[in-house]
Amino acid sequence: MIVGLLLALGAALTTGVASVLQGLAARRAGASPSDSSTGGSVRRLLVSPLYLGGVALDGLGFVCIVVALHWLPLFLVQCAAASSVGVTALVGRRVLGTVLGQPSLVALYGLGLGLVLLASGAKAEQATAVARSAQWWLVIASAPVVVAGAIVLRWAAVRSSSRAGGILAAIAGVSFAGTGVASRILSDAHSVRAVLTAPAAYALAIFGVAGMAFFAAALQRSPVTIATAALFGVETLAASAVGLLVLGDSTRAGFVVPSALGFVVTLASALFLALNDDPDAAPVAQIAPRAAVPDH
C-alpha cells in the first residue's frame, strides 16, 4: 500500500515536472527568431533537449502508474495523476516566475487534502482478474473511440468549429481512461510474456496513441486550459467508474463518504488549477500534461 502511494505520488511529480520542461521548451521554440514559421517552431520543439527530457519523465511517470495499479484502485491513482497540475503550478512558480494567487494556493491545499482522504479510504488489493476473452471487449471498445475522434477531426476541418477542441479533448480523456483500465488489468500479469500476449496490451497501445493524437489536435483548436480540464474530468471519472463497477476496486469499510469527498475535492482542485485564467499565472496556464505545443 505504502509503495503504491509513493509510486502514484512519484507519477504526479514526474508528470508535473515534465509539463514544465515541455512548456519551457515550447516557449523557447516559439520565441526563436530563426525560422519563425509554425512548422519550424514545431521541429525545434521536437528535438529540444528540454522537451525530450519532459517526454522521458512522462514515460517514467507512466511506469510508476502501471506499477502503482498493482496495489491501488483506479480512482486513487487517477486522482493522484490529475494532481500533477499542482506540481506544475509549484514548479512553474520557481522555473517560469509564475505568481500564484490566493485561490490557486487554496486549490493546492485542496489537492493535498483530497489525496489524504482518498488514501485513507483506499483498499489495497489487486484488480479482479479479467479473462482474455473479456479483454478483447476493451480492444473492441477502442474502435468507436478512434472513429469518433476521426469524425470530429473531419468535421473540424470542414466547419472550422471552435467547439471541436473541447470535444477532441473529451475523446482524448476517454482514450486515456482506456489506458488506465488496461494498465489496471495488466497489473495482474506476472511476466513480460503475459503482458505482451494479453489483449489488454493491444488496447493500451491503441488508446494511448489515440489519446496523444486527439489531445494534440485539441490543443490546436481550443484554449489549453479548456482542453486540459476536459481531459482531466472525463479521464478521471470514466476510469474510476470502470474500476469500481468492473475491476473490483473498493474502499475500506466505513470510508465511502471520506473517499467520495476526497475524490470530489481532488478533482475539483485539479480542474480549478487547469482552468485558472489569472493573468499573473498565465505562464503555467500555457502548460498541459502529456503534450505541449507552441502558441500560434
Q: What pLDDT score was predicted for residue 45?
A: 64
Tell the residue number behind the cell numbers 509554425, with chain if given. 38
DSSP code per residue over 78-105: HHHHHTHHHHHHHHHHHHS-----HHHH
Q: What pLDDT score was predicted for residue 296?
A: 37
How far apart are the C-alpha atoms of 54 and 250, rounded to whole Å? 33
Q: What pLDDT score was predicted for residue 40?
A: 54
Mean pLDDT (10-residue bins), the chain, 296 residues: 86 86 70 52 70 87 88 87 81 69 84 87 77 91 94 81 81 92 84 86 93 82 74 87 86 88 90 64 44 39
Sign of CA dihedral 278, 281, 287, 293: positive
Other beta carbons less than 10 A from residue 292's beta carbon: 27
